[in-house]
Amino acid sequence: MHWHETNVTVRFNEADQWGMVWYANYFAYVEVARTEVLESVDLLPNQLVDLGFIAPIIHLECDYKAPARYNQKLTVRLTLLPQDVARLVFAFEIVDAEDRTCMVRGSTHQVLLKSNGTMVYKLKGELEKRIHRLARYFEVGTMH
Amino acid sequence: MHWHETNVTVRFNEADQWGMVWYANYFAYVEVARTEVLESVDLLPNQLVDLGFIAPIIHLECDYKAPARYNQKLTVRLTLLPQDVARLVFAFEIVDAEDRTCMVRGSTHQVLLKSNGTMVYKLKGELEKRIHRLARYFEVGTMH
Amino acid sequence: MHWHETNVTVRFNEADQWGMVWYANYFAYVEVARTEVLESVDLLPNQLVDLGFIAPIIHLECDYKAPARYNQKLTVRLTLLPQDVARLVFAFEIVDAEDRTCMVRGSTHQVLLKSNGTMVYKLKGELEKRIHRLARYFEVGTMH
Amino acid sequence: MHWHETNVTVRFNEADQWGMVWYANYFAYVEVARTEVLESVDLLPNQLVDLGFIAPIIHLECDYKAPARYNQKLTVRLTLLPQDVARLVFAFEIVDAEDRTCMVRGSTHQVLLKSNGTMVYKLKGELEKRIHRLARYFEVGTMH
């Protein structure tokens, strides 16, 4: 299983009055990593809509291990957990970019809906092709 | 000139590590007041788009007088400054809800564009009607 | 079990490009409700620190049932789930303020730490008194 | 006059329902650039506090030229405008990272206060040394 990695630096406005990243701000970092991956397989939100689908998050969970602080350099790690059904489950970890201390760890679950709101149970056509490329990237660690 | 007033309470995640509202977070409070007013004259962003227009902000300025803190109760005051041209200039003040100390004071300038991006120089039709109702509200302090 | 309720209106900057509240922005609404409750028992973050403690969130989970939209009026419902150990587990629901459709439902888990970072296993003194008042509020629905 | 430059990519949660960056979110990008510069001269907010000072923003102005969109790569440009008094005036521009189209342009004004709240009119000691290094960086474009 491959983890996609990207780096972010904690911004001043993301820390709370204890100087620690407010707990919901970590999810913006997860989206930085997710965007990079989705862009590489043409599955950015707009591109998904162009195919006639949306992929709302239906479940989120997160464990907080250590607080990140203003200006701290972090590495966001993202992978896709294999599923039997037409669902995208991403696992993420955010670690200190240098000493790799784990700050947070969690997952998001997304379902695939047609634009009319009906659930997608089985992948087909272009959507299937792109999601298989996405899955393969997280298996082998390369787009090719 | 009438000022529309609404109340907000500073949220935990809006204060920075000094316990003061981060300077760009005040604009979310201004939007609370603006939404209330625009809703009452059917000029919410979506409604404006339905009429074939958008109203992007092209200029913002703000003076910071005193810092607001977590859980502080604030009153957001909003008015519309009369203009010769087809432009919306809102002035705002954010004051302590109790002792009325001024925290910030500023203005936003919006132009009116047709959906195709061309500038609106002269108001006509339904757009003119609604913007006149908006202007009148700020002159007389009532929608009727 | 009592649920504390408070109302919020979705702000323009909290909706994403589909016009739906971005999934992590709901937690700011939860904090609005939590602040109201903690204020009433003198357990706001600063007050907790004055007693020599902090209460970091160590776990968060959330299910997303339906999307809230810009300017939608929401009711945030918050309760405290009884625990055997010195831990604060808040459950929350965010529902449409009028038709009570459930938007999101979830929980946050907080541990209590002394300012030096050591875990609190057993409540004592002023901290115990205030947390008992908090728990009692969620049992009986009144502060008295 | 030297401009410090850094790159940011627009995050999903920073775009509004028109897919454009919400106007107050640009200031988070300005802070990314400012943090990089202040770090290099040991003037990060915490370091300033350690010296016995704070530097609140008292004025902000910004012109919006073109909207940035989700996943757009931007270059944030920051410089310091020379002042006769003990005041920090940063000018900023945010441009498309590739074609250099200007998105926004503005400035922030900061005063220097002693921790007790009294205004600093004349720089002295370590504070003067560091602010001179900061000013020199923006004159000559290097820290050495």
Over the stretch C92-122, which tens digit does the pLDDT of each residue have? 999 999 999 999 999 999 999 998 889 999 9
Over the stretch D70-83, which tens digit does the pLDDT of each residue have? 999 999 999 999 98
| CB–CB contact D56 B63 (8 Å) | no
State yes or no: pLDDT of C144 exceeds 70: no
Task: Report the pLDDT value the prediction gives residue C86, as an integer from 0 to 100.
Answer: 87
Task: Report the pLDDT value the prediction gives residue C143, as an integer from 0 to 100.
Answer: 73
CA-nearest of C30, C131, C136, C36 to C86 is: C131
CA D134 to chain C, closest CA, distance in angstroms equals 34
Q: Where are the domains of chain A?
A: 4-139
| CB–CB contact C13 D19 (8 Å) | no
Q: Measured in whole angstroms, how far is the alpha carbon of residue A41 from the centre of its chain?
A: 14
CA-nearest of C68, B12, D13, C109 to A106 is: C109
pLDDT tier at B85 (50, 70, 90 boundaries)? confident
Chain B hits for A17, CB-CB cut-off 8 Å, are 12, 15-19, 70
* Count of C-D CB contacts under 8 Å: 28
DSSP string over C31-68: HHHHHHHHHHTT-SHHHHHHHTEE--EEEEEEEE-S--
State yes or no: pLDDT of B63 exceeds 70: yes
Are C110 and C92 spatial neighbours (Cβ–Cβ below 8 Å)? no
Considering CB atoms only, which of A20, A28, A59 is closest to C24? Answer: A28
Are A27 and C24 spatial neighbours (Cβ–Cβ below 8 Å)? yes
The fold for domain A4-139 equals Thiol Ester Dehydrase; Chain A (3.10.129)
A93 forms beta bridges with: A77, A105
Task: Report the pLDDT value the prediction gives residue D124, as an integer from 0 to 100.
Answer: 93
> Using CA atoms, how far apart are residues D89 and D79, in angstroms rounded to an integer?
9
Average pLDDT over residues C14-39: 96
Buried b (16+ CB within 10 A) or exposed e, B28-51: bbbbbbbbbbbeebebbbeebeee
pLDDT tier at B144 (50, 70, 90 boundaries)? low
Over the stretch B44-60, which tens digit does the pLDDT of each residue have? 999 999 999 999 999 99
- C18 touching D, CB under 8 A? yes
> Using CA atoms, how far apart are residues C70 and A46, in angstroms rounded to an integer?
20
Average pLDDT over residues D47-64: 96
**Residue in B22, B25, B35, B73 to test binding to C, most C beta-carbons within 10 Å:** B35
If contacts are CB pairs under 8 Å, which of residues 27-86 in chain C contact chain D? Answer: 70
Task: Report the pLDDT value the prediction gives residue D144, as an integer from 0 to 100.
Answer: 64
> Using CA atoms, how far apart are residues D9 and D73, in angstroms rounded to an integer?
4
Average pLDDT over residues D118-127: 93
Q: What is the pTM of this model?
A: 0.96
Quote the mean pLDDT of chain B. 95
Chain C hits for A35, CB-CB cut-off 8 Å, are none
Chain C hits for A17, CB-CB cut-off 8 Å, are 45-46
Report ipTM (2 d.p.): 0.95
Average pLDDT over residues A51-69: 97
Q: Which residues contact C106 (CB under 8 A, 6 or more apart)?
A: A60, C60, C61, C62, C63, C91, C92
* Count of B-D CB contacts under 8 Å: 55
Average pLDDT over residues B25-33: 98
Task: Report the pLDDT value the prediction gives residue A141, as an integer from 0 to 100.
Answer: 82
- Which helix (H) or strand (E) covers residue A74, if one does? strand A73-81
Average pLDDT over residues D2-26: 96
Buried b (16+ CB within 10 A) or exposed e, A13-44: bbbbbebbbbbbbbbbbbbbbbbbbbeebebb
Considering CB atoms only, which of C12, C31, C45 is closest to B11? Answer: C31
